[in-house]
Each structure stands twice: as C-alpha cells, then as structure tokens.
Amino acid sequence: MRVLVTMQPAFGHLHPLVPLCQALIGAGNEVAIAAAESFRPQVDATGIEALPAGIDWLESELSAFPDYEEHRARGESKAFLQSEIFGWRTARAMARDVEAIARERKVDVVMREPWEFGGAIAATTLGIPCVLHGIGARANVEEILTLASGRLSQHAETLGIADDPVEWLGGALYIDPCPPVVQSSSAWFRPSSHQLVRPQLFDTTDGSPDPPAWLATPRDRPRVYVGLGTVMNRWHGLLRRIVAEVARLDLEVVATTGPGADPADLGDQPANVHVERYIPLTTLLPHCDAVVCHAGWGTTIAALAHGLPIVAVPLGADGPRTAARCEEAGIGRAVQVDDVGTGRLADAIADVVANPRFKSAAEAARRQIEQMPPPAAAVKTIESLTR
C-alpha cells in the first residue's frame, strides 16, 4: 500500500503523525510526507521520505502571508489563519501538487492532519480514501471546520459534492489519538469510521543531543520543566516572564527556548534555573516533577505519558480547550497569560508541586494512555480501506 501524508509545516503538525507513519512502514507499506519545501529538513530528520508540495512557508514565521499582520492587529488572526490560510490558500496549492504526486506514484491512501485540507481535496478528486489523523481532541476538528466553513463550501462546490464536512472532510477513517481524560466533546463531528490509537512520543527532529550532565545529578528539591513549544515560544517575551516568576520558587527550573529562539534572550538566571535551546522531552521529563507549558498537544501529551501534572498558560488554537480539560480532570492548573507576573503562576506551580492529588490524577492519565491501542491497530484498519 502506498500512503501519502499531507501536513502544515510545523513540528506540532508533524510529530503526532510520525509514530503511525513508522508503524505503516514497519508493516511493509510505502509512506511519503508532502509538506512545504522549507520544512523538508525537519521531515527528512524523521527518516520518512519528504516530498515538497504546496506553498513554501513555515507556520512559525508566516512571512509568506504579509496580510496576516493586518488581520492580527484587528484581532482576527485566528479566523484568518484557519479560514484563509489553512482553508483556502495552502489547501488549493497543496491539492494541485498532491494530485500530481498521487497520480505519478499510484498512491492508494492519503492521510492528512486536521489543519491541512489539500489532501482531502486531492483524494476526493482522485476517488481514493482519505484518512484524517487527529491531533488533540475531536473538538479541534470541529472548530476549524466551523471557522473555515465558507471556504470549505467553495471547495465542495468546485468538486461537485455535497457540502457536508463530516462526510467528505471526516474522511474514510478518523484516527483518534486523544485519551478520554482530555477529550473535548464535539457537538456534531462524529465520524462514522473511528480508530482510537495510543499517542506515542516523537521529539527528535532537532537531532538527539547528549543530555546535559546536570540532568542526572542528585537534587534536593523538585524539578519543573518550562517550555512553550516550537511556535508559541516566540510569543512576545512570554517565556522570559514565566521563567522570571518560576525562578523565585524553591524549585529547580529547566527551560527550553525552542527553535528560532536564543537561550541568551532570557538573560542571566539564578543558580536554580537551567536554560537550553532544546532537550528531547523523552530525555528530560523522566527527571521532572511537573510541567509548565502553553497546553500545546505535543507537550501536554508528553507530560501525561510521563504521569506529570501540568500548569498551563494556554495559547494557540487548542491551548485553552486542552488547559480547561486538564484542570477539570485535576491534572493541573491553568493561569491566563495576562496573569503572568502577578504571582498567580507561582502560586499555581507551588500548589501543583506540593499537592499529591495532581500527581495522582496525572498518573491515572498515564495509565489510560498506556491502555489505548498501539499504532499497529490503526495500520490494520488503514490497510483494510484498500481491500
């Protein structure tokens, strides 16, 4: 079976797809990932074949869309990104390239992630199955289908199909990697074909550097990880403000700045704070007691997979929803971005570290993840689509 995967050019869209791609390859299938040319080095680092497709851009920069800034200034950045950039411009360009690649390679199945629509358009045109690999809760899919509904209706009209997003954008199969503890209910996105799959961690596309020596040294106080992912890490000096507040606590703090950011930007730090550009979370989190993050899916699921409680400063499309679910489940606390620097973040972190009920809830989430079906189960379901 030949599978072509389509995605938007950011780590947060790539990393959740890699374990299933690897499982497909391990089962003897051919897999290639179609993404922006500038993101090719990151795809190459996974060991999966990369194919340039669509508009050449990076989600972390958005320089390919100069009009984004004017919409951001008007408070319309989310709607513009979801509808005009994801739902229209990148979708049309990706669809053209994916259709050409699929015809040339005789692709059997297209697999896409929720924010990439070109794969669905091309698969519909070609009459081949399209698999939708979820990232986070099902409510994420419903949100973008709602925000981009006008543009998606135009695609449906061009394709000559019924304008039912669940029917044609839900795909032949929905891969659901969201553990029930952080699942958000969806009012109407209920795909008929659904496969639960255990989210497995992949975080080494920046290489696998040796962990710093201090990570394995004995410590006499709790260690907390602080990070804002690979896109939100550039959010208006927020990381520096978070670290400044956390550093005042009697904790050991490990902060990573992520790609495109310089550790020196955080300035001089006290002895209890370590700042690195990057440490793979699979290497770092076994040595931590709690996580402070923006409730992005990758960091959240990594924390839960290690049974670690979370203090979230929610940012981005799904951050507020994920943070709310974590708080409701007793896994951690949420602090709004405007409250950073007021002492509320420090209070929340101190509470989460000191109160064992948060650790207990996070351990329950870890066990729930471990009980989910492995990627191999999803491989069999995908293979059945071509029989």
Q: What is the pLDDT of residues 194-224, one digit of tens each?
A: 999 999 988 765 555 677 888 888 888 999 9
Give the model confidence (pLDDT) of 52-74 as tens digits. Answer: 999 999 998 888 999 988 987 88
pTM for this model (two decimals): 0.93
Residue 206: per-residue pLDDT: 53
Residue 212: per-residue pLDDT: 86
- State percent of the chain over pLDDT 70: 98
Look at 102-116, 134-148, 206-220, 339-353 and tell me which has the smallest mean pLDDT.
206-220
Using CA atoms, how far apart are residues 353 and 291, in angstroms rounded to an integer?
Answer: 10
- The edge-to-edge listing of strands for the beta sheet with 2-6 is 49-52, 30-35, 2-6, 109-112, 130-133, 173-176, 194-196
Show the CA angle centred on residue 222, arms to residues 218 and 227, nearest 5°: 105
Using CA atoms, how far apart are residues 177 and 199, in angstroms rounded to an integer?
Answer: 5
Does residue 323 carry a pLDDT above 90?
Answer: yes
- Contact status, residue 286 vs residue 347, Cβ threshold 8 Å: no
Does residue 123 carry a pLDDT above 90?
Answer: yes
Does residue 278 carry a pLDDT above 70?
Answer: yes
Residue 209: per-residue pLDDT: 62
* Among candidate residues 312, 314, 289, the one with its CA nearest the CA of residue 225: 289
* Among candidate residues 232, 373, 377, 200, the one with its CA nearest the CA of residue 301: 200
Look at 66-70, 180-184, 286-290, 316-320 and tell me which has the smallest mean pLDDT.
316-320
Residue 117: per-residue pLDDT: 98
**What mean pLDDT is reported for the chain?**
93
- Contact status, residue 254 vs residue 274, Cβ threshold 8 Å: yes
Look at 61-75, 228-242, 295-309 and tell me which has the smallest mean pLDDT.
228-242
* Among candidate residues 340, 337, 343, 246, the one with its CA nearest the CA of residue 290: 246
Contacts of 126 (CB under 8 A, 6+ apart): 99, 102, 103, 107
Residue 208: per-residue pLDDT: 55
> Which tokens hold the place of 160?
């000559």
